[in-house]
Chains A and B, each alone.
Chain A
Amino acid sequence: MSSVFRILLRRLGISVIVLIGVSMLIFAIARVIPGDPARIALGPNATAEQVAAIRTEMHLDEPIVAQYGHFVTDVLRGDLGTSLYTNRPVTQDIVEFLPATLELVIFAGLLMVALGLPLGILAARHRARWPDHVVRVLTLLTVSAPSFVWAVILMLVFAFYLPLFPVAGRIDDSYEIARVTGFLTVDTLIAGRFDAFLDVLHHLVLPAVALALSGIGQAARLTRANMVETYDKPYIEMAQAYGFAPGRIARRYAFKPSLIPSLTIIGLDFAAMLGNAFLVEAVFAWPGLSRYGVAVILRKDLNAIMGTVLVIALTFLIINIIVDLLIAFLNPRIRHSTRAAT
C-alpha cells in the first residue's frame, strides 16, 4: 500500500512540474496573439481610457515575467477573467459547461472499455481465425475516420432514418431538473426522476458512441496484441497442457497481465477524447465545454481560450493520474513491492 502511495506522490510531483509548464505554454500562446491583448480583452466598444486602465489592470506594462506571475496568482485564486463572448467570468462558464463534457467523455470511456476489451479478448482467443480477422478490419475501420464523420453517420442513420435516438441536446426540454452537480445523470437521480434519467441516457448514446468508436478500436487492438503475447508465455502453455478450460485460461491467466499495458494506452485515449469532444459536441449541439471552446476560439476571446485549455489540460492530467493509480493497484509487482517503483 505504501508504495502505491509513494507512486501517487511521485506522480503528483511530476504533474505539478508539468502543470507549471502547461501554464507557461498557454501563457506564451496567449501572448503571441496578434494585436493588443488589452484591446482584445475589452472588445470593440472600449474607449482609449478604458484600454489604458485595463492595461494597468492586466499588468501589461510590467515585464513579461511579472505578467506571468500575475497570471499564475490569478489562476490559483480561480480568477480566469471575464469572457467577452458571454460577458460572464470564465470560471462561471467553465463550471457551467465542464460537467456536460465530462459526462459525455466518461460515458464514452465506459463504452470504450466495455466494448473494446471484450472484442480484443475475442480476437486473441480465436487468433488467426475469422473472429480475429473481422475484429481486425472493424477496429482498423473505426480508427480510420475522425469522430465527426462517425457522428454525422450515426446521426443520419439512427436519428433521422431510424428515429431511435434524439438528434441533439442532453435532455428533453419538457424536463426541469434542478442543477446540483451539472451531471444530468446524477442530478436526475437526485431529483428522483428515473424517467428523466433514462431520457438523459437516451441522449448520451449517439454522441458517446461517436466519441468512443476509435477508442474502442484502439482498445481492442491493444488488448489483442498483449493477450497474444501473453498466450505465448510458458505458464499459459502449461495451463493449456493441464487441460484447463480455454475460458478460464483467458480470464484468469491471460487477461489480467495483458490488461496492464492496455490500460495505459486506454487511459491516454480516454483523455484524448477531451479533444475529440470538440467535434462531437459540434455535431450533436451538446452544450459542453468543447462547444464553448470552439465558440470562444472563433471569437478570439482570449481569457476564455486560456481558461478552457487550462481546464482541459488539468482534467487530462487528473485522468492520467487516476489511470496510473489503477495500474498500480492492479499490478501485483508494484502493489507488493517494498521499494518505490521508478
Chain B
Amino acid sequence: MTRALRILASNPLSLIGLILVSGIVLAALLAPWIAPFPTHNSAVIDFAHANQAPTARNWMGTDLVGRDIFSRILYAYRISLGLGIVVLVIATPIGTVVGLLAGYLGGWTESVLMRLVDVFLSIPPLVLAIAVLGVLEPTLTNAMIAVTVMWWPWYARLVYSIARSEREEGYVLAAEVIGAPTPHIVFREILPNCLPAIITKMTLDMGFVIIIASSLSFLGLGVQPPTPDLGSMVAEGARYLPDSLWMTVFPGLAILLAVFGFNLLGDGLREVLGVDE
C-alpha cells in the first residue's frame, strides 16, 4: 500500500489526479458545512441576486432565481459521486460473476452468457440507458437502474477475457487436479487475479459514470429540479448563452475536473497494478 502510494506520488499526473479526486470527494462530503449558501440545494429563490456574474459573494455567479452556483456544484457532486458509487457497487459484482462463470466454465454457459453480454453491448451504452429511462419515470433511482443496466456487461467482458486465459494457467490446473470445488477455484484462485484490472476499471469508470449520468440529466432524463445536478445545470445555463456563461461554464468545468481527476488516478493505478490497456 505504501509502495503504491509512493509510485503514485512519483508520477506527477497521478498525484494531481489523487489530489483532485480527494478534493472533490471531501468537498462533496462536507458540502453542508463548506457551501457558502447551504440552503441553495433546493427551491430557494432570491431574485435580488438573480443572474449575477461571479462576485466576492458568489464566486461562480448565481442562476436565474438567485441561487449560488458554487454551492449548487458542491451539492451536485454528492449526487454524481453517490450515483457513481451505487452503480459500480451493483454493476461490478454482477458483471464479475457472469464473466468468471463464462470464462471458467466455458461450453454452453459461456455461449449463453456471452451472447447475452453481446446483446447488451450491441446497443450504444447511452442509447440503452436512454431507452430504459424512456419507459420509466425520470428520477434519480431510475437513472441509477438505467446506468447499471448498461454497465455490468462491460465488467462481464473484462473479467471473462482474464478468466479465460487464467483457466489454462498452472495454478488453476493444479487446483483442479487436487479436486478443489468450482466455487473455490473461481472465487479464491481466479478472482484475485482479476482484481487489479477490476479496480483500475472502477476508478476510470467513476469518471465515465459521471459523464453518462450528467448526459442523461442534460437530456432531462435524470435528476429532477430543484435537486442540483451538473448535467441539468449545463442544460439550463446553455439556454442563456452567450450572455450568462457562468451558468454553463462552471458546471461544465466541474464535470471536466472530476472526470479528469478519476482518469489521471486510474491511469496511475494502471501502472501501479501493472494492468494492460
- The yes or no verdict on A and B being binding partners is yes
0 or 1 for each of A296-322: is its CB under 8 Å from B? (1 = yes):
111010100100010011001100100
Q: B168 within 8 Å of A by Cβ?
A: no
Cα A140 to Cα B207 in complex, Å, equals: 11
B119 touches A309 (CB 8 A): no
0 or 1 for each of B213-239: is its CB under 8 Å from A? (1 = yes):
011001111000000000100110010
Give the Cβ gap from B154 to chain A, nearest Cβ, in Å. Answer: 11
Residue of A nearest to B135 (CB): A33
Q: In A166-216, which residues have CB < 8 Å from any B CB?
A: none
- Chain B contacts of A136 at CB under 8 A? 13
Cα A170 to Cα B183 in complex, Å, equals: 57
Q: In B130-169, which residues have CB < 8 Å from any A CB?
A: 130-137
Q: B18 within 8 Å of A by Cβ?
A: no
Cα A283 to Cα B231 in complex, Å, equals: 13
A274 touches B119 (CB 8 A): no
Cα A223 to Cα B220 in complex, Å, equals: 36
Cα A254 to Cα B214 in complex, Å, equals: 39
Give the Cβ gap from B4 to chain A, nearest Cβ, in Å. Answer: 20
0 or 1 for each of A86-117: is its CB under 8 Å from B? (1 = yes):
00000000000000000000000000000000
B135 touches A278 (CB 8 A): no
A293 touches B242 (CB 8 A): no
0 or 1 for each of A259-277: is its CB under 8 Å from B? (1 = yes):
0000000000001111110
B131 touches A18 (CB 8 A): no
Residue of A nearest to B219 (CB): A294
Residue of A nearest to B259 (CB): A144
Task: For B255, give its contact among A25, A137, A145 (CB under 8 Å).
Answer: A145
Known: A279-B219, A300-B135. A274 touches B127 (CB 8 A): yes
B255 touches A149 (CB 8 A): yes
Residue of A nearest to B111 (CB): A17
Cα A302 to Cα B219 in complex, Å, equals: 18
Q: A325 within 8 Å of B by Cβ?
A: no
- Chain A contacts of B135 at CB under 8 A? 29-30, 32-34, 300, 302, 305
Most B CB atoms within 10 A — which of A18, A155, A271? A18
Known: A146-B211, A279-B215, A305-B134. A225 touches B277 (CB 8 A): yes
A282 touches B119 (CB 8 A): no
- One of B58-66, B70-78, B260-268 contacting the partner: B260-268
Task: For A148, give its contact among B130, B218, B249 (CB under 8 Å).
Answer: B218
Q: A153 within 8 Å of B by Cβ?
A: yes
A-B contact count (CB 8 A): 148
B127 touches A278 (CB 8 A): yes
Q: B5 within 8 Å of A by Cβ?
A: no
Known: A144-B207, A305-B131. A149 touches B256 (CB 8 A): yes
- Chain A contacts of B267 at CB under 8 A? 140
Q: B126 within 8 Å of A by Cβ?
A: yes
Known: A30-B135, A283-B238. A145 touches B259 (CB 8 A): yes
Task: For B127, give its contact among A298, A312, A317, A320 (CB under 8 Å).
Answer: A312
A146 touches B218 (CB 8 A): yes
Q: A72 within 8 Å of B by Cβ?
A: no
Residue of B nearest to A136 (CB): B13
Task: For A29, give its contact among B126, B131, B211 (CB under 8 Å).
Answer: B131
Residue of B nearest to A222 (CB): B277
- Chain B contacts of A320 at CB under 8 A? 122
Q: B36 within 8 Å of A by Cβ?
A: no
Cα A154 to Cα B67 in complex, Å, equals: 27
Residue of B nearest to A294 (CB): B219
Q: 13 more A-B contacts (CB under 8 A) besides A152-B234, A153-B249? A: A17-B118, A21-B118, A145-B259, A148-B218, A149-B255, A160-B242, A271-B124, A272-B125, A278-B126, A278-B130, A279-B215, A296-B134, A316-B122
In the A-B complex, list the 9 residue pairs whose CB atoms are closest, starting with the nearest.
A275-B126, A21-B119, A275-B124, A297-B134, A144-B260, A144-B259, A33-B135, A149-B252, A145-B256
Contacts from A to B (Cβ < 8 Å):
14, 17-19, 21-22, 24-26, 29-30, 32-34, 136-137, 140-141, 143-149, 152-153, 155-156, 160-161, 221-222, 225, 271-276, 278-279, 282-283, 293-294, 296-298, 300, 302, 305, 309, 312-313, 316-317, 320
Contacts from B to A (Cβ < 8 Å):
13, 115-116, 118-120, 122-128, 130-137, 207, 211-212, 214-215, 218-221, 231, 234-235, 238, 241-242, 245, 248-249, 252, 255-256, 259-260, 263-264, 267, 277
Interchain Cβ contacts under 8 Å between A and B, 6 examples: A34-B135, A140-B267, A156-B245, A279-B218, A309-B127, A313-B124
